[in-house]
Structure 1
Amino acid sequence: MQLPNELTILFQPIVMIHQQTILGYEAFIRGPANSPYINPQLLFEQAQHQGREAVIDLEIYCHLQVIKQFVSLELPGKLFLNSTLFHHNPLYHYTAADIVDIAAGSGLHREKLVVELKVNGDFNASDTEHQIALCHQSGIQLSLYQQAYIDKLTAYQGEMPDYIKFNRHLINDIAASPERQQLLQQSITHWEVQGAPLIAEGVESRDDFRYIANSGIAAAQGYYFSRPSASPPRALKLELFCTSEVEINRSQATLLNETVAILSTPTPSVPPDTLLNEVEQLFRHHQTLQSIPVVTDTGQPLGLVRRQHLYSLFALQYGRSLYAKNRVTTLIDEDTVTLDAHTPITEASSKITAVMQQQVESDFIITERGRYLGIGKVIELLRRITELQVRNAHYANPLTLLPGNVPIYEHFEGCVRDGMTFVVAYCDLDHFKPFNDIYGYSQGDGVIRKVAEILLEHSGSATDFVGHVGGDDFIIIFRSIDWKRRCHKILERFAASVAEFYASDDYQRGGFYAKSRQGEMTFYHLLSLSIGAVEINPHPEMTHHDISTLTTEAKKGAKAIAGNSLYVRTYTKAS
């Protein structure tokens, strides 16, 4: 068979749900464009018509191209590689060891590989166990892709795969299917006992993600996170991981934008083929090191080897003589957390505590564009968070616990330093003083808290910043591209919530009568919210005073419009 000279290679992220990190990427191929073989299934069917050798040649060619592209993109995590050969015919002379050789020749270490085998109607337990064993002997992981044959796979009692993947026909729209929910839960219960991590493929909506996130499944994959792409995302927005309409940690909202880069300490690393006795010598030479990263020659970290684990192994009877010549990859900590240097401190805290919990003395890996940068210490991260919490509590508004003026100004200045366009929305209540005078300060405080709740609910938790200037004045700093839609949602939500703060007669009347500051009886309309927004293209000389002046003017424009209103203006240096 003539091999196609134009393959399109796509990658789709597989996401660890509770760690909020990317586990790896599944690779997909598309045949030559504008040809009947753009569908890879047709491409392989044609190869099958030409015989076993044609299928093998095509499989090897596709694997080679996928691995080269994965290495070229420097993607984090593991590569999930589909295989059509192992399961269908164990006699084919293309084995897991051959895949390892192809990967090594392209600069990808075997620890980064996961071979994915599909469980079809012709499922054979003995064959499957044999393939799992071959993969493990070659030092690569294996994922069983569970299609419609759940009963066959749950009856399997052989050597365990490294992952079990549920296919999209079971997962897609599962939030609306009690029958499939029951089927899935039975399967989850079975595999939890076996200890195999579970992956849900076909998560395409927030409702499905909510269900999966609460089901005990460890990882997810689907259009909800990202479609297969030639340039897949290296990280995902935190708001994708929210499992309720309002999932905001208010203390987190006050911690500004400090990243884990400040915690990075350069630490000597070792390549994957290093022997354990060589690692021990390194620990002896560096007495303060608690962990040593294992890093490939392309700079990709595979994990950490911890001093305690190594010395515990060597302390066993005959431990040193048995294990000293083993490769360092046999002792990599599977719970190693790897974070990009640009990860915010608060995001790092949630990811690390979800995995490491009580291991406050442990280390984690910090990377820059997927390459090893240094080591961070959990205890230093926790210490820094405590310092920031104490500092920001001093400036937080006591009623809403939102950041006050000092953090707001610092956030302004950080946005200017970034040099990217951002939007500042000044939010102010209309008719709030007479409402406070008539209904009392306790009811007024309730309104203020409601506004804070609504602003948090409709701002992007991973992208936007909400601050409380004081009284009934709030600031939102938007990085979300759909900020106008969010503002309109805020206005709609506030208008719908006003009734709960009024006596029924006043609400039905549309307001109340009260004396004005001049002593005259005046009709005051229901509370409404004015939002004055400024889209800012910053210049380096811009200060927080400049931004405050612009937003105050925008607020005046919004206040001039009756009722719940949004007033927008754009600022550039020339204007």
Structure 2
Amino acid sequence: MEVALLKTMQFECNDLAEDGLVMQAELVAIIKQQRINTMFQPIFDIESNNIFAYEALSRGPADSPLFQADMLFATAHDCRMTGDLDYVCRRKAVENFAGRNLPGKLALNICPSVLVDPDFRSGRTLQMLQEAGLGSERVILELTEHMQTDISSLKAAVEYYKGMGFSIAMDDLGAGYSNLRLLAELQPDYLKLDKFFVSGVSHDRVEADFVKLIVDLANRVGCRVIAEGIETVDDLQFVQSMDIRFGQGYLLGRPQAQAATCVPEILMVTAKSAIAVSDANVTGTQAATVLCESECIGSMRLHQTKPCAPDDSLNAVLNRFKADAQLQVIAVVDRGCVVGAVMRDELFEAFSMPYAHSLYRKSPVSQLMLKQPLVVDVNDALSEASRRATSRLFNLVYCPLIVCDKDKYVGMLSIRALLEKITLMQVEHALHCNPLTGLSGNVRIASEVQLRMNDRRGFVLSHFDLDNFKAFNDKYGYERGDQMIGLVAELLRDAAHERDFVGHIGGDDFVMVLCDDDWEARIWSVLNAFSIQSRLLYNHSERDKGFIEAADRLGHIRQFPMASLSVSAVTCPPGRFDSHLEASEVIAEIKHRSKKIEGNSLVVDRRDTA
């Protein structure tokens, strides 16, 4: 093996337990001896019924505790040998793919942290392809979403490899962090749709609408979609109905060392009988969570569907439905208030019964109306409306919502419009969130704080700032620095209640909005947990000393204490502040006091608190 392959094998494992050392030794042996087994899972062109590519999946030796890929790569990450393991997996995949003379393209899973490594650009990948007789145009570099990497560096690396003839795929849309922003920034050649969006979706009209929007978004950036996790005939038919060209999954072919080279019969059969999702049954699964709880029904455009009265004839209402094929529900209103609803399907079914026309022709609407329909208010949050709508009985879940303003009927809201609004909010959130932590950035933080103030309900605005982080980052490097930033984000998420909000200003600064009375205890729980868990990011010797040595801003080497958190909190009872900027000014004032306190600290401004 090349000497370059082994150069990063010097890593610090000072505090590993005995079993960790065993895993470390096992990993080193696997890499040195290149004992990696490659499995190939076919990816099919569903339109032409041909094999499009093979995804290479690496496993450890069958008799090794590192046989499973998750354990293998987790151990490599812990031992800082991801690049070394990735190189061996890549080489074995290329050798086996070429040795079996497989058709189509070869999809190689690549960690983003490896892709941006300058050593990866040294030409070794091209060299191994040339040795195997493969051109770069036959290789897809598939970026996994599990490693958090600076987007600008990743974008530059992607452009570099595209220029060399490689194709780029983005893996696991929906399973990782900031996926929509990554899609917009990287503009990959292929987008892999996660199993979550494929398996069982043919029975769920709500999720199917999300898939439509995702496919449309991919098309707009010139990206072709590959559907993962096709495990049933329904899954396959759903993918076909969405005009998704490429697919893979256990139904079509499992990962095997001896890769399948034949198109499965099921693909040939279902190609002629794809089922449109619009005809599928709908379950009551809940729609995706709305990211901004403050967005209300009143912000949506409503359909001004004319209601009917309880004493109107059923025959007249039936004629309205017959005249308008798009009309699904009519509100029944008495003195401006909703007292019921007439559903298209139920009314047509009732009139299809023997003697129904004679029985119901002159009957009033009140005889067959739904007496407790779902009614939402203009001030209800979109998230709540979405939850209630998709929790209805399956035959009602896609019917429009009846909307009132203080019990007075004002119109109808279509479920499609609601879902599109939710998805647009997700896109907007992704564009404004921090790529490292996935938390909302400055734009959303400002709007969220202002909305809380306008809502006239009290809360506490808190600012979390890491102390001595620059010295830690300079000493240990950006990867461990990112781990510390991620730790703070995780602790804040864990401490947040349902009505709270967590944002990432950038760098080592975070914001948390707390709404419940136990807010102070929860802040201290974050500080205590950080004291314990952050120490694990230091080397054993520096943990014992209680400090690290690093260069200060003038370049002088000096001692820095362990990282800590300085928290500045401002109570915000109704009426204290008119603008989020006013609260920010108070935060800035007391931040200087909290930063002067050594170790973890909490300084609270309680002025104007009742």
TM-score for the superposition, normalised by structure 2: 0.47
TM-score for the superposition, normalised by structure 1: 0.49
